[in-house]
Amino acid sequence: MIANHKGEIPIVVLLLPFLLGIGFGIHLLSAADTRWLTLVFVCLIAAFILLNFNYNRFKLYKKRWLGGILITTILFVFGWLLVINYKELNNKDHFSKAPSQYLLIKINNEPILKNGLLRLTADVEESINKGKKALVSGTLLIAIKDTAAKNLYYGDELLIPAKYN
């Protein structure tokens, strides 16, 4: 049986703004400043809670759309915040933000040999610039065309030149 009223399937109504916020964060504004977005998120939640505690005093039963708009906006902003916080390029200690000559990496999966290239992903642990080490974070996808690279395994640590794009 198909629901005649959207209130009968709330998961769809609540999931759509959350997914739109995730999509908005991925495709449009993934490098937005999290401070102002977090402030907006907290203010929206505070307004929602305040309005719920004063439901009768403000006669909100006459403005039922107000709660719907608030919860939709809260879910949209929450999805957007999740995307921004998850993106590793936004971290302050990402290896691409520090000048370096060499990177100390640790292989985090089993290397795959395909078409003469050894492909692997690695976690960047340290950057070395002029003999000084700095702790950094991030992930690199590496492709190596060398016969000696066939001896690389999960967990190996490598010192590589910091030439990446």
Q: Which of residues 54 and 154 earns the better pLDDT score?
A: 154
Q: What integer pLDDT is reported at residue 53 of this predicted model?
A: 87
Residues 34-88 have pLDDT tens digits of 888 899 999 999 998 988 888 888 787 788 888 788 999 999 999 999 998 888 8
- Residue 1 in this model has a pLDDT that exceeds 50: no
For residues 55 and 64, what is the distance between their CA atoms, to the nearest angstrom? 10
Whole-number Å distance between alpha carbons of 139 and 58:
52
Is the pTM above the cut of 0.75?
no
Percent of the chain predicted with pLDDT > 70: 93
Asked if 153 contacts 110 with a C-beta cutoff of 8 angstroms, the reply is yes
pLDDT of 31 above 80: no
Sequence-distant (6+) residues with CB within 8 A of 64 are none
Distance between CA 26 and CA 156 in Å, rounded? Answer: 32
Give the Cα separation of 106 and 138 in Å (integer).
11
Per the CB < 8 A criterion, the answer to whether 158 and 122 are in contact is: yes
- Summarised one tens digit per residue, pLDDT across range 112-146 is 988 889 999 999 999 999 999 999 999 999 999 88
Q: Residue 3: pLDDT above 60?
A: no
